[in-house]
Amino acid sequence: MVVLAAFAAIYLIAGALPAVAVFVLQLCYVLPALQRFRGPWLLVAQAVAGYVAVLAAGASVGILGFLGGSLLLFRSWWPLLVLPVVGSAMVFGPVDPVISMVLVSLVVYGLIRLTERAEEAEAARVGGVVAAVAEERLLISAELGDGLGRGLAQIGAGARAALARPDRAGEVLAEVTRSARTCLASARAAAAAYRALSLTPELTTARALLTAAGIEAEVRTGHAEPLGPAGALLAHVLREAVTGVVRRGATRCRIETRAAHGRVWLRVVSDSARSADDESLGDVPARVVEAGGTLTTGLTPEGRYFTEAVLPGAVAVAKEEEAAADGGRAYRLSIALLAAVLVGFCVKALLMLDGAQLLPASAGFAVIVYLQLSSVHGRHPYKLGVMALLATLPVFVFGQAWLGAAGFLAGPLLLALPWRMAWPLVGVLVGWVAGMGVELGLAAGLVVNHAVSAVVTGLVMFGLLRQAQIVGDLRRERDRQARAAVVAERLRAARDLHDLLGHSLAAILLKCELARRLPAERARAELADVLAMTERGEADLRAASGGEQVRMRLAAEAESARSVLLAAGIEAKLRLGHVGLPSVAETALSAGVREAVTNVLRHSSAAVCEISTESVSGGTVLRVRNDGVSGPSGRPGSAGIGNLTTRLAALGGTLVAGAADGWYQLEAWLPAVPAAGEVA
């Protein structure tokens, strides 16, 4: 609106009072409250006001550009723009005013259309994120359905066949067991692949591990997700580094990430002053080097131990963002309009020169146009300096024709500098234009016209450049949010695959192996359990694919866990004292039961496992203890512990896991959660 007002002001200063009416009518395309007046009658009113200004008030034909810009906004009417252009050329003769009219038309159309495009892009941002998540869910569903869905179907069919044909039960059970083992491996591999896209869950796990060990943890993230293979390798580095921090008995640890120039950094610093122990990192240094990165360990000048890994990882994201910005229709429109207006202003200036001056002047303007277009992608101080020289010094060679070039400098000044600095500089520039006009012996009216035109041209350049940046920024932001949502969706799928389907498949595998060793009658009971677990596994698969929300009952999960533990020969003790939990809390704590029991089966030599819940002041506590600790620290850094930490943290809960006195205990606490909460 400011640019439109500046255009109208030029004609008003020249004495054309109808320019006020022209400007007011144009506001119907800019202000939302007046847009209901758009239509044929508004165009007629604009035409009347414009031609009155030209024929009665002596305004330049350029004022008809307001009408021309409005015509361009209507797809079916824009050919009518040819009539005022051709008519003006035939009636008024000089080419310069006609070019001015075309330029004003393009500026008016461009600013209004780009504003609409920016609003459309803003409105479409949420829709773009939703669409990206929906598309990702379809992809995940297809990926998981082809392998895991078919595998679960085979397990269910095999269990039913074994129940129907006891004489072939042994052969069928062997096949079912193989299918269950394959499905379990596929589920774990898929969960690891989805999780590897992001370093964020590993940062969450690292913080939980450090806090559980009594170490003050600080995490600063400065990278953008997803990182892809680099994220998986950095997650490995982080696990090894944090394990070393815990082992060396540090009291403070800081984890930092950042990304720049196509590379991503991970740095872990602790207050442990012991010498570097490269062997503790295993094969990690070699893998980092193989991936094109570097891994450094040592002591900081303050005597703190650090591990720093640098890997290629941000190039693809940066290129994707640039391609997304350059690929939008609105962005292409903004650049095309900017280029057209720049060329039009240059042609107007060149018409004032003779043949000998055309070539060097054209070369100078070509450089200015290039510098203007490159200003869309950021601030370039050295380019701004070159433009300052090109916009001012050639006036001593080309005279009045080059005075308009000062406006080309005003736009980038307003764009690159804070306004408290830019406007005084623009004021100096306008004063320079006026002074040069006097020095060249121009009439007072022309001096004022050139000075005002410098401001208007600067505002036009600023408006078009800023609109191009806004459209590009909105598109990049929408794509960034869509990528972040896709990463979050894949991480959710990884959690559900690991915590839900992984447990179900592990239980199915255990039951199948047990059934193969039991007499026929007892095996039938285990096969019935396999069928029930297969149905639950299919529901877990649908949840992991995003097809339905996960809902679990804590009491039922605890009973199922006891059944699985007993089948594995582990004494299971249940003591459930929770009351009145909403579904969201039961689901999160049920995932805790599954994770704890799965770790007991996979990583311990337990003879006894105790599962208990109790309601405490302000929340509920779940404890799972076993006497089969295989090492001094258990497995506090596993992917499942990280998943569970994330689920609980989303509801304001905490997780503590560790070994003491020969027992390993997982303790999850959740505050009172509103019944309307959502599953993490």
3-class secondary structure per residue, 450-487 = HHHHHHHHHHHHHHHHHHHHHHHHHHHHHHHHHHHHHH
679 pLDDT above the threshold of 50 = no
Is 576:554 a contact under the CB 8 Å cutoff? yes
Return the percentage of the chain with pLDDT > 90, whole number: 7
The partner residues of 659 in beta bridges, in order of sequence, read 664
For residue 320, what pLDDT band results from cuts at 50, 70 and 90? very low
627 pLDDT above the threshold of 60 = yes
For residue 233, what pLDDT band results from cuts at 50, 70 and 90? confident
11-56: pLDDT as tens digits: 677 667 877 887 788 888 777 778 777 778 888 888 888 778 777 8
Q: What is residue 79's predicted lDDT score, i.e. its pLDDT?
A: 67
Mean pLDDT of 317-326: 42
Phi-psi domain of 379 (left: phi exceeds 0; alpha: psi -120 through 50; beta: other): beta
Q: What is residue 94's predicted lDDT score, i.e. its pLDDT?
A: 59
Q: What tokens does 136 get?
A: 């990702």
Q: What is residue 635's predicted lDDT score, i.e. its pLDDT?
A: 45
Phi-psi domain of 662 (left: phi exceeds 0; alpha: psi -120 through 50; beta: other): left
- List every span in the chain annotated with CATH 3.30.565.10: 228-313, 550-680
For residue 611, what pLDDT band results from cuts at 50, 70 and 90? very high
390 pLDDT above the threshold of 80 = yes
CATH number (3.30.565.10, 3.40.50.880, 3.40.920.10, 3.40.50.2300) of 550-680 reads 3.30.565.10
Distance CA 559, CA 611 (A): 10
What value does the mean pLDDT of the chain take? 78
Write down the CATH number for the domain with range 228-313.
Answer: 3.30.565.10
Q: What is residue 451's predicted lDDT score, i.e. its pLDDT?
A: 86
The full 3-state SS of 264-288, as one line of letters, equals: EEEEEEECCCCCCCHHHHCCHHHHH
Q: What tokens does 92 get?
A: 């008024």
Torsion sign over Cα 258, 260, 266, 268: negative
Pairwise pLDDT comparison (212 vs 14), residue with the higher score: 212
81 pLDDT above the threshold of 60 = yes
Distance CA 574, CA 577 (A): 10
Is pTM beyond 0.85? Reply is no
- The H or E element that residue 626 is part of is strand 619-626
Distance CA 243, CA 282 (A): 12
Q: Which stretch, 281-290, 494-503, 659-668, has highest mean pLDDT?
A: 659-668
548 pLDDT above the threshold of 70 = no
The one-character DSSP state at 255 is E
For the ranges 61-75, 265-279, 597-611, which has the lowest average pLDDT?
Answer: 265-279
Q: What is residue 259's predicted lDDT score, i.e. its pLDDT?
A: 84
Distance CA 306, CA 300 (A): 7
